[in-house]
Amino acid sequence: MGIFNNNSNSTDQSSDPSVQPGENAAQLANDGPAFSGLSGNELYCVNLCGYRAGNLLVGNSVFALGFIGGVGSNIRTAVGGEIAQVTNMIAQGRRLSIERFAQELVQSGSPAATGLTSELIFHPGNVEFLSVGSAIKPINSDQQNQNGFTSSSDGQELFCQIDANYMPIDFVFGNVAYSLGLARGLLGSLKEMVKGEVTQFSNIFNITRNLALERIINEAKNKNANSVVGIRTTILPVGISPVQEMVMIGTASYNSNPQVQNAANLVGGVITSDLTAEEMWNVTKMGYVPLKLVLGTSVYSLGFVGGIKAGFRNFIKGEIKVLSELIYGAREQSLKKIQQQAAEIGADDVLGIKTYIYNIGNGVIEFLAIGTAVKRMPNVSTRSEQLPPQAIIRDKDTFINVADISYGTDLQHQKP
């Protein structure tokens, strides 16, 4: 959001974290009561950063699903990969909702917002792009003119991020819409394949998956940021089969430490990390800098198993060794890919590795591995010696609906 672009040369875009909760209480009431999405723990952490609660704000945009449906009908026999028309339409909807959130933020008189989200909600015949976040205001009047920001971090994560010296600039995202069709006719021919990786499909999926990462990096560069922290990756359907969207959201930030800038130069100018804010604080305290979110995907055919399925029908229990070996191979191949990516940029370790298996259909699976490559650097640490308990306490739900008959939206706990 252009109106929140900061000067990347600023060494401190926040107030002094030493401000204690409860100070300047008289000023807190100047604007009347705020209706905020911040929890008590979040408010405590935001206050440590020198901010107080503003209002919960919303921006949205509604698009007809007809366009996507028309595109989808033409791709059911595609080989897979990105569907640029759908990617662009979804990106446009997300940006419109974020821009409208930004307009509400300006009108509210708040310079910053935390916990900003970007969600797709499907209604009959259309899709709503929804952005929700909580405005925050400086406690002290002499901070009123400081640079503003929007962040995907909630109030607790915001403290961790700032205390680790990653100063927030703007909410950013990168997305890619792609076909799971993978040439359904071609998939049928895989049924006779011997076990092993389907290299051409692995290549398609690796390119496609990395497009979202490239796009969030480019958005960060446009904000004069040298890092994107707290990246969350979500894969979701876009209302029609076989199209899905992979979206990464995070906070474009700037770290003025020369060592962090050196680390950013190793990866083209922008660090990317999907470590949680608490994890990033911990590794920063230990002297590590995140370098790059790394991911690897391998596509394997299970089709060859179809011919021997009949042989398993009389088995009551026991290992299916051939399947064990196949899935093991897919996992190993994906892990090797992220290991290779980490080695290429000179990383010391890859942390927070998560692995997922997706059933593409017709006996074909995708195995995805994702994590953050890190490197130990000199003179890197946090501002505080330890995190306050409020920064790591997980909030508990106090409203629980087990009837599952509501049609509303939980504005406080949105997911990307």
Q: How far apart are CA 303 and CA 174, in angstroms?
A: 34
Task: Specify the pLDDT at position 137.
Answer: 94
Q: Does some domain include residue 16?
A: yes
Of the candidates 233, 215, 185, 238, the residue with the CA atom closest to the CA atom of residue 65: 238
Q: Does some domain include residue 301?
A: yes
Q: How does pLDDT run along the chain (416 residues), one tens digit per residue?
A: 433 333 333 334 344 444 444 444 334 445 578 899 999 999 999 999 999 999 999 999 999 877 665 555 555 445 567 888 889 999 999 999 999 999 999 999 999 999 999 999 988 888 999 999 999 999 986 655 567 999 999 999 999 999 999 999 999 999 999 876 554 445 445 544 545 678 878 888 888 889 999 999 999 999 999 999 999 999 888 876 678 899 999 999 999 999 999 999 999 999 999 999 999 999 999 999 999 999 999 888 766 554 445 444 445 567 767 777 778 888 888 999 999 999 999 999 999 999 988 877 667 788 999 999 999 999 999 999 999 999 999 888 888 877 755 555 555 544 44
Q: How many CB atoms lie within 10 A of CB 350?
A: 22
Q: Cα 413–414–416 angle (5° rounding)?
A: 145
Main-chain phi, psi angles of 178, to 5 degrees: -145, 160
Task: Specify the pLDDT at position 64.
Answer: 86
Number of domains in the chain: 1
CA atoms within 13 A on the CB side of 67: 14
Task: Specify the pLDDT at position 353.
Answer: 95
Beta strands in 42-158 (DSSP E): 51-64, 81-82, 112-114, 119-123, 126-138, 149-150
- How many residues are given for the chain? 416
Helical axes 155-163 vs 40-48, angle rounded to 10°: 30
The residue behind tokens 């909030």 is 395
SS3 (DSSP) at 100: helix
Helical axes 277-285 vs 155-163, angle rounded to 10°: 20
Q: How far apart are CA 114 and CA 148, in angstroms?
A: 11
Q: Does some domain include residue 391?
A: no
Task: Specify the pLDDT at position 358.
Answer: 81
Q: Does some domain include residue 50?
A: yes
Q: Does some domain include residue 404?
A: no
Read off the pTM.
0.84
Q: Does some domain include residue 411?
A: no
Q: Does some domain include residue 280?
A: yes
Q: Does some domain include residue 189?
A: yes
Domain region containing 378: 2-385
> Is 297:203 a contact under the CB 8 Å cutoff?
no
